[in-house]
């Protein structure tokens, strides 16, 4: 097995079978699941207890909908944790694309956040990679989430500044793909991708002073426009 940098994970999922399955996926690949809970209140409580002990997790994986009402308890807990512990990554899982929840989750800090559809868990490699990426301050957005959020924003003038290819590149960036991965997906050179990304940053008014987070800020520009 390829060695990985271990990340510490808390899982919040009311389905015991899915919670145990996620735990197995992560532990089999060298990560440590420090707690598993079944509702939003328990998630906030256990992360608080770990924080008090100086043992905060690197990332929280939470279902959007959990008891008691199965509406938005999971994402509400995730937003609370992001506000209280900005150093902890948050990856939420949802059965469907729920734009309101995705936008709310992305409205704060531009790092250490992910939103995936549960179907994505079936691709074990992508899921585990997403958990690791979010734990390290990166972003992981499901392609369907990106498509709907950007599709809703097509009415905004800011999007009209981008070419169709630049919008396509931006969508792949938002999924958390590297320049090389974008190039492979689009069957173009790395240099071509770098040029597209440079144009995107320029058209969205993102300067070099924004640093590495320009990739995420480019997507958030649409969500906030």
Domains of the chain by residue range:
8-141, 147-224
Question: Based on C-alpha coordinates, what's the Rg of the chain?
Answer: 17
Q: Name the one residue in this structure whose structure tokens are 């002073």.
A: 209
The reply to whether 8-141 and 147-224 are identical in fold is yes
**pLDDT tens for each residue of the chain, 225 residues long:** 334 589 999 999 999 999 999 999 999 999 999 999 999 999 999 999 999 999 999 999 999 988 888 888 888 899 899 889 999 999 999 887 777 777 777 766 657 888 888 887 878 888 999 999 999 988 888 877 766 665 554 445 566 788 889 988 888 887 777 889 899 999 999 999 999 988 988 888 776 654 556 776 676 665 554
The CATH class that applies to domain 147-224 reads alpha beta
Superfamily for the 8-141 domain: Response regulator (3.40.50.2300)
In 3D space, the residue among 49, 53, 115 whose CA is nearest the CA of residue 79 turns out to be: 115
- Torsion sign over Cα 150, 82, 31, 7: positive
What is the layout of strands, in order, in the sheet containing 59-63? 32-37, 8-12, 59-63, 89-94, 113-117, 139-141
Provide the whole-model pTM: 0.69
Decide: helix, strand or coil at residue 12.
strand
């Amino acid at each position: 097995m390829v060695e990985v940098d271990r990340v510490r994970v808390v899982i919040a999922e009311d389905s015991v079978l899915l919670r145990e399955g996620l735990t197995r996926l992560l532990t089999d690949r060298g990560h440590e699941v420090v707690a598993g809970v079944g509702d939003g209140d328990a998630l906030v409580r256990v992360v608080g207890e770990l924080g008090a002990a100086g043992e905060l997790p690197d990332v929280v994986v939470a279902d959007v909908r959990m008891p008691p009402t199965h509406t938005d308890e999971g994402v509400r807990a995730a937003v609370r944790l992001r506000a209280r512990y900005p150093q902890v990554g948050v990856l939420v899982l949802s059965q469907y694309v729920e734009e309101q929840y995705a936008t709310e989750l992305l409205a704060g800090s531009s790092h250490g956040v992910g939103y995936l559809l549960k179907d994505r868990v079936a691709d074990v490699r992508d899921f585990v990679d997403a958990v690791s990426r979010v734990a390290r301050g990166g972003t992981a957005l499901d392609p369907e989430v990106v498509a709907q959020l950007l599709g809703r924003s097509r009415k905004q003038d800011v999007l009209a500044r981008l070419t169709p290819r630049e919008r396509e590149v931006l969508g792949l960036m938002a999924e958390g793909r590297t320049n090389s991965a974008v190039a492979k997906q689009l069957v173009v050179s790395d240099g071509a991708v770098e040029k597209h990304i440079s144009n995107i940053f320029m058209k969205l008014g993102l300067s070099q002073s924004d640093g590495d987070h320009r990739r995420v800020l480019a997507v958030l520009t649409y969500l906030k426009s």
